[in-house]
């Protein structure tokens, strides 16, 4: 009996050993133990945090004594595991009878296994296999480093301390801890050694200086630098037929954009001729430009296209149609992508490449996209996106402030949202209106009337006719109170979408035309005296179109202002901007008599505004920056002058020299001097200004009040905050010029710097250029603000910017 039990135990033990998934599982136990030890002691296999990358400096590196202890424990565990594997392999040579008996017992055991257990064990085994490969890479790395030490060649791979590559040491530290987090590193020859890190970071990426001992023609890591193609001159285009073909078909959103492009074709042609004359024979580089409209791709869900004919928002499509037209008319080499497949094809990213970076140069000088497209590019370009991100321009309706854009700062200080955190230069975000000076103002165009059309409109205006800004029935809920007041004086018209029955939210006294095509809406606006907003949508193109057609725009004042702190619509958007009305641009930059902003909750104020509108006479008005010529001028200036791929050198005032001085003698006087008839300071005329765009001749330096942002401080002086100029005022010379008394001057990372505290007599300078912010403010500090002048009707450009 005892013998039988013993034989049974032996058979079960042999069965379990022969049963391959279980055998792999035993080995897996050992490897998982090894991984647990390594995780707890050094983080070699720690999970990759969202956002971790070679572009985020981290220093999770083991110390010398501790790492040697870890290596000894790892070595002991590996030796035990290998011995167990050897002993297991000796049991493979079983007799035929034993094999048959083991198969029978194995079959019996399988009947008692839960469903799917073998598959789960096999999946675990695959993970163990992957981990084994990583362990092997670590061991190979140790052998490589040991050999380098023995051969005396390790000095070739010492981490350089080169001021031209300040991020190199931090990136090497990151690679040491995280190089197994992405298979692309191994694809490009990274094996865990410092030499492979430096080769990768200098030849595939750009964070470290080239290694002098490398054969720079050897594949696969180093690509041969292709000679740059000769520059080509851009020539204005007035024929839009090629562009219309490029936009494509198949979606109502694309049809809407093409109709808009075609309708405004003559105005674009006239504007091109005017700007060509204004610029004279000036050379303009032709750029290779990719436009990827991410929000219209199927991969992003494209909720816009089905709503084009049902009263859905059109503002984004208006802007994208105008961006495409402006780039085409300016004469650039344009490619348009409306799907991820097209995006991959244009970028040359082959399917299955994963996130591996493109070694060769980006095939485009500029890429215009949106937040959806940016996410798609990250998914399909991976590491390449970070390498080439300086070429990207993000069309961003509501703006992204620097505090939200800097990933680590946003995470640590509560500014992280679903958008933002891309670590771009804030000027790479391009807005619909000039509400965020930290960003670049892209805009759109409204149809411009000639003098004959303006006279005709003024003669045909119906003095008591109002059109309501609200195409969706839900926008009319709760609005009947002030609509009744409006109805006492005016005939009220609506353009609310409906399919079969009149929407019950629309009062019976409203004449509803249903959703109108664009040209019919234009005719309605040309007759109306008033265009009235309900408070939503925010900052759309329709009010500018109404004002351009001779309407007065009446809108509600928000008390308190709407923002991400108190309004659901703005919650999660990467901005702290406070919106004081439905259309702040119309309120601030156009104003009376074309725009009236009142408290709709005050019936007396609302009634008084309606009576004033009835008495008023206005002409059609369109700001220059929203004409075709204004947009062409602005986009031209950006393309020819903005460059985020060349690192901005640190500004060192001591290196400046006097203008006209022999031998470039160093300056001894102030950098900033008081300007006549002004409370601001300007760049000293006798000091050679470093190259900058906008040029430093436009700089106006002033100090904000406590709690005031530079946006508001500059605006109160009739100026615009210019984030590009923070670099030149972030120094003690600026503090001295403003006669600021500082007992302590620190350099910190904070989006309100440079700034100072009057009470504590403490001054702070900015250490992180990505956090230079016009929008930042603090109740305890006064800020140093780099303001600038601007061209009449074109706030995006200074007087000398063209």
Q: Give tens-digit pLDDT for 624-637.
A: 999 999 999 999 99
pLDDT digits (tens, 9 = 90+) for 20-32: 444 444 445 454 4
* Region at 747 (left for phi over 0; alpha for psi -120 to 50; beta for the rest): beta
Highest mean pLDDT among 44-53, 93-102, 477-486: 477-486
391: pLDDT confidence band, cut at 50, 70 and 90? very high
677: pLDDT confidence band, cut at 50, 70 and 90? confident
230: pLDDT confidence band, cut at 50, 70 and 90? confident
pLDDT digits (tens, 9 = 90+) for 399-438: 999 999 999 999 999 999 988 889 999 999 999 999 999 9
pLDDT of residue 186: 81
Instruction: Please state the rounded mean pLDDT for residues 107-115.
Output: 44
pLDDT of residue 202: 85
d(CA 553, CA 139): 72
Burial of 260 (0-12, 13-18, 19+ CB in 10 A): buried
Please report which helix (H) or strand (E) contains residue 252, including its range: helix 252-263
pLDDT of residue 652: 72
pLDDT of residue 670: 87
Higher-scoring residue by pLDDT: 443, 690? 443
Percent of the chain whose pLDDT exceeds 90: 58
492: pLDDT confidence band, cut at 50, 70 and 90? very high
Instruction: Please state the rounded mean pLDDT for residues 180-197.
Output: 84
Q: What's the longest Cα–Cα distance across the chain?
A: 116
pLDDT of residue 663: 45
Give yes or no for residue 778 having a pLDDT over 60.
yes
Give yes or no for residue 54 having a pLDDT over 70.
no
pLDDT of residue 686: 86
Highest mean pLDDT among 35-39, 115-119, 152-156, 308-312: 308-312
Higher-scoring residue by pLDDT: 3, 420? 420
d(CA 480, CA 61): 66
pLDDT of residue 161: 87
Which residue in this structure is represented by tokens 């080769």? 199
Highest mean pLDDT among 112-116, 460-464, 781-785: 781-785
Instruction: Please state the rounded mean pLDDT for residues 536-552.
Output: 96
347: pLDDT confidence band, cut at 50, 70 and 90? confident
CB-based contacts of 494, cutoff 8 Å, min separation 6: 467, 468, 470, 476, 506, 510, 511, 512, 513
Higher-scoring residue by pLDDT: 203, 267? 267
pLDDT of residue 777: 96
Instruction: Please state the rounded mean pLDDT for residues 390-396.
Output: 96
- Encoded tokens for 381: 């370009």
| CB contact at 8 A, 472 and 314 | no
d(CA 672, CA 682): 5
d(CA 385, CA 430): 18
242: pLDDT confidence band, cut at 50, 70 and 90? very high
| CB contact at 8 A, 233 and 285 | yes
Instruction: Please state the rounded mean pLDDT for residues 483-498.
Output: 96
pLDDT digits (tens, 9 = 90+) for 721-773: 999 999 999 999 999 999 999 999 999 999 999 999 999 999 999 999 999 99
pLDDT of residue 124: 52
Give yes or no for residue 350 having a pLDDT over 80.
no
Q: Give the lowest-confidence range in 80-84, 249-253, 744-748.
A: 80-84
d(CA 221, CA 203): 7
pLDDT of residue 122: 52
Q: Within its chain, how far is the Cα of 304 from the centroid? A: 21
Give yes or no for residue 261 having a pLDDT over 90.
yes
């Amino acid at each position: 009996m005892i013998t039988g039990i013993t034989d049974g135990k032996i058979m079960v033990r042999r069965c379990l050993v022969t049963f391959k998934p279980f055998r792999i599982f035993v080995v897996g136990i050992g490897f998982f133990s090894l991984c647990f030890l390594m995780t707890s002691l050094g983080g070699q296999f720690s999970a990759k945090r969202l956002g971790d990358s070679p572009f985020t400096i981290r220093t999770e590196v083991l110390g010398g004594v501790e790492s040697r202890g870890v290596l000894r424990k790892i070595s002991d565990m590996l030796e035990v595991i290998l011995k167990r594997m050897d002993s297991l392999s000796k049991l493979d040579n079983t007799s035929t009878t034993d094999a048959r008996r083991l198969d029978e017992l194995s079959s019996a055991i399988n009947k008692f296994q839960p469903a799917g257990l073998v598959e789960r064990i096999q999946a675990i085994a695959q993970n163990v296999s992957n981990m084994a490969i990583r362990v092997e890479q670590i061991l190979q790395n140790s052998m490589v480093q040991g050999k380098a030490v023995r051969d005396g060649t390790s000095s070739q791979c010492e981490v350089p301390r080169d001021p031209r590559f300040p991020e190199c040491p931090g990136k090497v530290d990151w690679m040491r801890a995280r190089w197994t987090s992405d298979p692309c590193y191994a694809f490009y020859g990274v094996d865990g050694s410092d030499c492979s890190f430096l080769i990768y970071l200098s030849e595939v990426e750009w964070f470290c200086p080239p290694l002098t001992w490398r054969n720079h023609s050897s594949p696969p890591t180093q690509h041969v630098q292709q000679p740059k193609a000769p520059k080509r001159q851009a020539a204005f285009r007035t024929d839009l037929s090629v562009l219309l073909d490029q936009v494509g078909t198949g979606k109502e959103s694309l049809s809407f954009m093409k109709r808009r492009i075609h309708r405004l074709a003559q105005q674009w042609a006239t504007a091109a001729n005017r700007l060509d004359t204004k610029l004279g024979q000036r050379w303009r580089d032709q750029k290779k430009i990719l436009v990827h409209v991410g929000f219209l791709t199927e991969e992003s869900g494209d909720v816009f296209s089905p709503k084009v004919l049902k009263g859905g928002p059109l503002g984004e499509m208006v802007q994208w149609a105008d961006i495409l037209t402006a780039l085409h008319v300016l004469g650039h080499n344009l490619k348009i992508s409306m799907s991820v497949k097209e995006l991959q094809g244009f970028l040359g990213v082959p399917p299955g490449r994963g996130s591996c970076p493109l070694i060769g140069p980006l095939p485009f000088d500029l890429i215009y996209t949106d937040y959806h497209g940016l996410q798609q590019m990250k998914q399909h370009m991976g590491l390449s996106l970070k390498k080439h991100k300086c070429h990207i321009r993000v069309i961003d309706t509501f703006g992204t402030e620097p505090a939200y854009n800097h990933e680590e700062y946003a995470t640590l200080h509560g500014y992280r949202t679903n958008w933002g955190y891309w670590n771009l230069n804030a000027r790479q975000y391009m807005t619909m209106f000039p509400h965020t000076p930290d960003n670049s103002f892209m805009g759109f165009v409204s149809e411009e009337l000639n003098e004959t059309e303006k006279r005709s409109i003024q003669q045909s205006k119906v003095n008591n006719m109002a059109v309501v800004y609200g195409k969706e029935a839900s926008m009319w809920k709760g609005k009947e109170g002030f609509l009744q007041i409006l109805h006492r004086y005016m005939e009220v018209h609506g353009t609310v979408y409906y399919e079969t029955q009149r929407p019950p939210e629309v009062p019976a006294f409203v004449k509803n035309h249903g959703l109108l095509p664009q040209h019919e809406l234009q005719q309605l606006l040309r007759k109306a005296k008033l265009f009235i907003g309900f408070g939503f949508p925010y900052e759309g193109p329709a009010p500018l179109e109404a004002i351009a057609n001779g309407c007065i725009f009446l809108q509600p004042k928000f008390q308190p202002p709407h923002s991400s702190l108190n309004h659901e619509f703005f919650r999660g958007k990467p901005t702290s901007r406070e919106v004081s009305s439905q259309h702040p641009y119309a309120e601030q930059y156009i104003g009376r008599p074309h725009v009236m902003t009142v408290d709709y909750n005050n019936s007396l104020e609302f009634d008084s505004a309606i009576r004033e509108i009835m008495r008023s006479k206005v002409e059609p008005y369109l700001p220059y920056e929203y004409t075709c010529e204004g947009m062409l001028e602005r986009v031209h200036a950006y393309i020819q002058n903005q460059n985020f791929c060349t690192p901005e050198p640190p500004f060192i005032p001591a290196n400046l020299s006097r203008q006209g001085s022999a031998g470039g003698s160093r300056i001894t006087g102030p950098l900033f001097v008081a300007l006549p008839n002004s409370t601001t300071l300007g760049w000293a005329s006798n000091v050679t200004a470093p190259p900058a765009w906008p040029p430093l001749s436009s700089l106006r330096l002033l100090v904000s009040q406590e709690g005031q942002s530079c946006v508001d401080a500059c605006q109160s002086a009739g100026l615009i905050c210019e984030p590009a100029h923070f670099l030149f005022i972030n120094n003690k010379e600026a503090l001295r010029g403003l006669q600021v008394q500082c007992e302590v001057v620190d350099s910190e990372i904070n989006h309100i710097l440079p700034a100072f505290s009057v009470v504590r007599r403490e001054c702070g300078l900015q250490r992180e250029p990505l956090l230079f912010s016009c929008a930042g403010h603090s109740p305890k500090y006064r800020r140093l603000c780099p303001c600038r002048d601007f061209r009449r009707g074109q706030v995006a450009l200074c007087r000398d910017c063209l």
